[in-house]
A and B are shown apart, each in its own frame.
Chain A
Amino acid sequence: MGRTQTKSPSTGISSPVGVKSLLVFTVLLLAWMAGFLSRLFAVIRFESIIHEFDPWFNYRATAHMVKNGFYNFLNWFDERAWYPLGRIVGGTVYPGLMLTSGSIHYILNLLNIPVHIRDICVFLAPIFSGLTAIATYFLTKEIWSAGAGLFAACFIAVVPGYISRSVAGSYDNEGIAIFALMFTYFLWVKSVKTGSIFWAAMASLSYFYMVSAWGGYVYIINLIPLHIFALLLMGRFSHRIYTAYTTFYILGLICSMQIPFVGFQPIRTSEHMAAAGVFALLNAVAILKYLQSVMSQAEFRHFFIVAACTAAGVVFLAVVGLTWMGVVAPWSGRFYSLWDTGYAKIHIPIIASVSEHQPTTWFSFFFDLHILVATFPVGLWYCIKNVNDERVFIVLFAVSAVYFAGVMVRLMLTLTPVVCVLGGIAFSQLFEVYLKEEEPSRPNGGDSSDDDDDGEKNSRYDKAGKLRKMKHEQQATNDGLGVIRSMVIVAVLMILMMFSVHCTWVTSNAYSSPSIVLASYSQDGSRQILDDFREAYYWLSQNTADDARVMSWWDYGYQIAGMANRTTLVDNNTWNNSHIALVGKAMSSNETAAYSIMTALDVDYVLVIFGGVIGYSGDDINKFLWMVRIAEGEHPKEIRESDYFTDRGEFRVDSEGSTTLLNCLMYKLSYYRFGELKLDFRTPPGFDRTRNTVIGNKDFKLTYLEEAYTTEHWLVRIYRVKKPDEFNRPRIPVSQRKVKRRNVYLTKKTSKKRRGAIKNRPVVVKGQRPKAKPT
């Protein structure tokens, strides 16, 4: 009996590599599936549809590309946006997202799998979340160990900070860009470790994909030079990093310039200059190192001082000179707002008006990252403690991402992956310490294969401190602290369990409610869907002229273009501030002034969002001050923000509100005939549920516009702009009329009393033509 038992461990040990890779494969597959499935809440609760505002443009562009081919997409001039300017879509878009889903669609269609492009777009982000998990695994594996990698992969698959941008139906650049980011970083770390041109070239290809997908590529092209710079400062120059960076930079530069939207920016804007500077510096250092090996000590010192001073002076003068001459563009406003958080508020209200550009609160850090926010400093500490070339990178990544995430809520997204990596390291380290068996017979711990791994680590890593610490830890555990150990393990497992519960809860409650369909739950738990947005957009698409121009605030531009397929004046691609300001001015002027703007812009319909009936807080009245501010930025003489406040500086729509506000176009369009509406028995007519007040200006008529459509819950109101001949027709005295009435006599008899006439039929008098009825 005893002999047969020896068989089972023998097969297990015979192929440890196989078991290990099977385990890794299974864990990654499960992480992928967990990530994919937890992003489907919105699809299961509602339907497979693009949910948010921005993705509608991406979807529309993708559909256009699938329909017309890639080259037509690159040359696409969209005359339905930014009327009358139009938009060169091919040159102003990051095409990576559309290309990705377009090629998936193409391949599936080749295999006769007729999946609608919409479904591909909806499920693209969840699928890529799995790829992100795998990329994170590889990155963490390179930086620390495979175990930490598995932890990191599992974390990133479900962490809310990333889910917020990649749920099914949010078809946005970030969905694939985070994968590209992590994969580029993995390849970069790999190339730094190996110093091989192959990995560096792969890194630049991955960087190319990132450039094609998201404007956040600038983060990569600044972080990698920063890494090199830090390594140089730490005196860690080596031929490995020299090969890696020079290959990466040159190939990456050439590749990135192939994207039409990026074009010559990598050599002409300040955002990219750091990379060029580091490239020059690295080469200078390499030359110096070479000279150092040739020259004697004294010669070299003298030469070094002279060369360094001249080089620094030349580079500095060159950058300043080029910027001054206008060859290199200075930093754009969006980047200034990253350094100076108050900058946008003063100079570019349109950036400040977006809620996701607001500084992050502590609450949202915890909300998005949960326990990882506490463990990631631990991982960071481990990395700093056992520093080597690639760990310098992750440290820089962490520090910079934390800063950016603090500046803007939106950049929480770049922080999340590094938090997962470092959190994974922390947990893996913790388990390594507390989960190891006490085996006095084997001082090194672990079986033979582990020994090999450790041996490799020791030779590869610069500092062998890890091993020493391990011994120390093991001595501590030898003191019979078994109870403490199991308590720690149980506690950590509990924390991890709570983490996953929290992630699911956040995903389900905060990030899976589509903004396009509103759901309200009544007290008995039954769900009522408010589908007003689609009602209005579909009405527009079906019952207005194909070339009708719809004016609305820019938030709804992409949706109108995507769902209603109608021309818009401004949309979410806020590239032309003055055009937006013009729309803002029209909204904040009185009807007459607005009419002249609207006729100048050929507006046929005006669309406003009004939440007063159902208490929807994100409506246009609540956004109105931003419109005023943006309009004031361009037209300070006509529009003044102070006019819209009461004397006491309050913004209110009730009878105490300022007259300018109560008579501006936005107010009138929102509240037209609302003054007559009685919502329920407790409130007076004209009670606005969003602002909890009775509106101030109730009884007014519209002269230049007429109500064209209002959705069921009044959420979207569409007005038609009347043509000049439809209103205010001046009364011309009878004497001056060119067309005279032939018959001024009107019978006093009503039509019914007329003898012998059938209802409404003109009296026929013999011998005369029937007279035309006077009009």
Chain B
Amino acid sequence: MHCHLYIVVVGVLVASVSGTFDNINRDIVNKKIERKLDVSTQLVKANTKITLENSGSGAVRSFLLVLTKEEQDNLAFINAQIGGTNLKLTESKVQEYRDLVFYKVELKDALQPSKTVNVEVEMVFTHLLEPYPAMIQQGEKQLVRYKGNHYVLSPYTTTTQTTTVSLSSPNIETYSRLKPSAHTDTSVTYGPYEGVQGFSVDPMSIHYENNAPFLTVSRLERVVEVSHWGNIAVEETIDVLHTGAKLKGSFSRYDFQREHNSYSSIKSFKTVMPASAKDVYYRDEIGNISTSHMRVLDDAVELDLRPRFPLFGGWKTHYKIGYNVPSYEYLYNAGDEYILKMRILDHVFDDVTVDELLLKIILPEGVRNVVIETPYPVEQLPDSLHFTYLDTVGRPVITVTKKNLVESHIQDFTLHYQFPSVIMLQEPLLVVVAFFILFITVILYVRLDLTLSKDDATEAKMRVSSHCELVHTHHDKRARCYEKLEEELQKLKGSKDVAQSQTSTKKLQNSIRDETQIINDLASKIRLDNSEYADRVLELQKMDKILRECVTQQLVNVEKLVAGKMSKQQYMDTDGPLHKKKEEALEKIKNLLGNI
């Protein structure tokens, strides 16, 4: 799987190391060449089937493909294969033909003498079709001219060859004729030509109608932001230019709406996104572009993009498209080792040509040892850092760029990196710490007194209120003691164990006395600041005294009852008024507490 990625190699100066020249092997003969030229879109797709024969005596390990300089400049993609397996291609030079560009194709198995092999070569050229005339009016059809070679350019002698050119429409203005040639409906056939010498050239020219969209992506910036929290965000910034025949004169909306004859103009195009894409947006600098439709298909999300205005020749537009995909589909890991597999270039529209691609991969913070593998050579730019939410040291950004791409370049890159999973905790901790600091600051600010001058009135008020609070707590303690005393009383009634009860009640009474003493002290302190509140506290104490007396009396009575010193009837008589008195005192205490 991995070696497969390296086999397809396209034109970057890999083999152009000066000094190494290849020789043309005179033993090789092209027994048969069938070339299919597809010029029905804005691209020129050449599909050539070559039957090679080794007419010499030694085994042949490689052969050469030739391109002119012009073709080389516009070559976007080249691939050679035998029966489905790709062959290794390297760019090379030949001493005698300095103005031509050669590709050396290495055969997988050496070609034995007098054996033949079928090689299939696929080439895609961009910007090779020239709109002619270069400017047309709104209602006119777009004519383009293709200039090429009647013969397949090859360093070897060809026994027989044919070329079929398929066009987009049957309307042909002119086409060059080299007999035998024929024109049927939407195709022109040249050949068969017999016994063509190596490097034979005979200019071919076809001038025909081609209303296919001539839409070039002049620049595509693709940003992939990986989050280990389960999301990968993709955003593409796209500059689109209509590279067909330029619009001459005025654009009339009336004609555009009425006649539908704007053949070469582009109103909309389709972009295909991954099936799991969600939160799709389509916008530019001045906001959302409201004219788009999304369709979710089984294997893809199809977006019908309509630019703000129809594109005529020479008109351009610029937009952003973005979406999120779940990371489990693209991100694989084993422990701390991660692999990201995503497309270098994704579908923009059919038969796209991308002049320049810039791919940025933003990885999470703390990623180490990043290695990128691509199926075809790309230029890697220096890494940079990206800062976003909760970042401290910045996220590493891997940037690669490549010029002149077509649909065949829609392939996956593989990015290896290490990421210690502990770092995942960094961001939540950061949030926790930030909030902690915030709350601590607020707490400190509220509690600290930052005034320079003393404000006696407020301070006295605060002192009083804090003392009052203490009164409340102590009173609560006291109240609890009373409750316990009450419980003891009930218990005594049941158990009749006077001795034990006396020890515990003593203890409770003592603590009640202590609390009362404390409250008394507090009252005297309060009096220093606010006599009103102190009076209330004293009132409370008075009531408490009554209450205590009642309770003590009750206790004594119960003890008497238990000891048999008092009859039941007597007890009931004395207890009734005591109980009433107690309730009254409680009620008053309640009211008083409310006012302190």
Contacts and interface: CB of A to CB of B under 8 A. Distances in A.
Interface of A: 2-7, 9-10, 13-15, 46-47, 49, 112-114, 448, 517, 529, 531, 534-535, 537-539, 542-543, 563, 673, 676-677, 706-712, 714, 720, 758-761
B99 interface: no
B287 A14 contact: no
B251 A708 contact: yes
A720 B131 CA distance: 25
Which are the 6 A-B pairs with shortest beta-carbon distances? A710-B253, A706-B250, A49-B287, A3-B479, A707-B250, A47-B288
B250 A47 contact: no
16 contacts: A3-B480, A10-B476, A14-B469, A47-B283, A47-B287, A112-B390, A113-B389, A531-B291, A534-B286, A542-B315, A542-B316, A542-B317, A677-B254, A709-B253, A710-B251, A712-B253
B360 to A, nearest CB: 15
Contacts of A534: 286-287, 308
Contacts of A539: 308-309
Contact of A13 (B250, B392, B594): B594
A759 B252 contact: no
Contacts, number: 105
B249 interface: yes
B249 A760 contact: no
Nearest to B256: A710
A542 B315 CA distance: 7
B443 to A, nearest CB: 13
A393 B422 CA distance: 62
A391 to B, nearest CB: 25
A5 B590 CA distance: 9
Contact of B586 (A2, A712, A758): A2
A770 to B, nearest CB: 15
B254 A535 contact: no
Given A13-B594, A534-B308, A543-B315, A714 B253 contact: yes
Given A542-B316, A714-B253, A537 B483 contact: no
Contacts of B594: 6, 9, 13
Overall SS of chain B's interface: mixed
Nearest to A21: B446
Nearest to B252: A707
A500 B28 CA distance: 90
Given A534-B286, A759-B173, A10 B472 contact: yes
A531 B315 CA distance: 19
A14 B468 contact: yes
A708 B250 CA distance: 5
Contacts of B174: 758-761
B316 A114 contact: no
Contacts of A710: 251-254
Contacts of A47: 283, 287-288
B476 A448 contact: no
A114 B387 contact: yes
Contacts of B586: 2-3
Contacts of A4: 479
Contacts of A538: 284, 286, 308-309, 317
B391 interface: yes
A563 B286 contact: yes
A676 B259 CA distance: 13
Contacts of A2: 586, 590
A484 to B, nearest CB: 30
B482 interface: yes
A49 B288 contact: yes
A443 B173 CA distance: 107
A529 B286 contact: no
A718 B387 CA distance: 42
B250 A3 contact: no
B309 A709 contact: yes
A42 B412 CA distance: 41
Query: Which residue among B251, B318, B480 has the maximum number of chain A CB atoms within 10 Å of its CB?
Result: B251
B502 to A, nearest CB: 24
A563 B318 CA distance: 13
B595 interface: yes
Find the residue from B250, B476, B480 having the highest chain A CB count within 10 A. Answer: B250
Contacts of B288: 46-47, 49
B57 interface: no
A112 B252 contact: no
Given A6-B590, A47-B287, 15 more contacts: A3-B482, A3-B483, A3-B586, A6-B593, A6-B594, A7-B476, A14-B465, A112-B392, A113-B388, A535-B308, A542-B315, A543-B314, A706-B250, A710-B251, A759-B174
B16 interface: no
Of listed A529, A563, A708, A712, residue having the most chain B CB within 10 A? A712
B290 interface: yes
Nearest to A4: B479
Interface of B: 173-174, 249-254, 283-284, 286-291, 308-309, 314-318, 387-392, 465, 468-469, 472, 476, 479-480, 482-483, 586, 589-590, 593-596
A448 B464 CA distance: 13
B100 to A, nearest CB: 30
Contacts of A6: 476, 479, 589-590, 593-594
Contacts of A531: 289-291, 308
A742 B261 CA distance: 38
B286 A49 contact: yes
A205 B289 CA distance: 43
Contacts of B314: 543
A608 to B, nearest CB: 13
Nearest to B309: A539
Nearest to A761: B174
A583 B317 CA distance: 30
B595 A709 contact: no
Nearest to B386: A114
Nearest to A536: B309
A535 B251 contact: no
A112 B388 contact: yes
Contacts of A542: 315-318
Contacts of B469: 14
B389 A112 contact: yes
Given A49-B288, A112-B390, A711 B590 contact: no
Given A534-B286, A709-B251, A14 B472 contact: yes
A114 B388 contact: yes
A24 to B, nearest CB: 14
A3 B290 CA distance: 69
A714 B594 CA distance: 76
Contacts of B317: 538, 542
A535 B389 contact: no
A529 B290 contact: yes
B309 A535 contact: yes
B112 to A, nearest CB: 48
A529 B593 CA distance: 67
Contacts of A15: 465
A416 B473 CA distance: 50
A543 B250 contact: no
Nearest to A46: B288
B389 A673 contact: no
A535 B250 CA distance: 17
A10 B593 contact: yes
A759 B172 CA distance: 10
Nearest to B286: A563
Nearest to B319: A538
Contacts of A448: 595
Contacts of A706: 249-250
Contacts of A517: 290
Contacts of A708: 250-251
A6 B478 CA distance: 13
A531 B249 CA distance: 25
A676 B253 CA distance: 12
B383 to A, nearest CB: 18
Contacts of A112: 387-392
Contacts of A677: 254
A2 B291 CA distance: 71
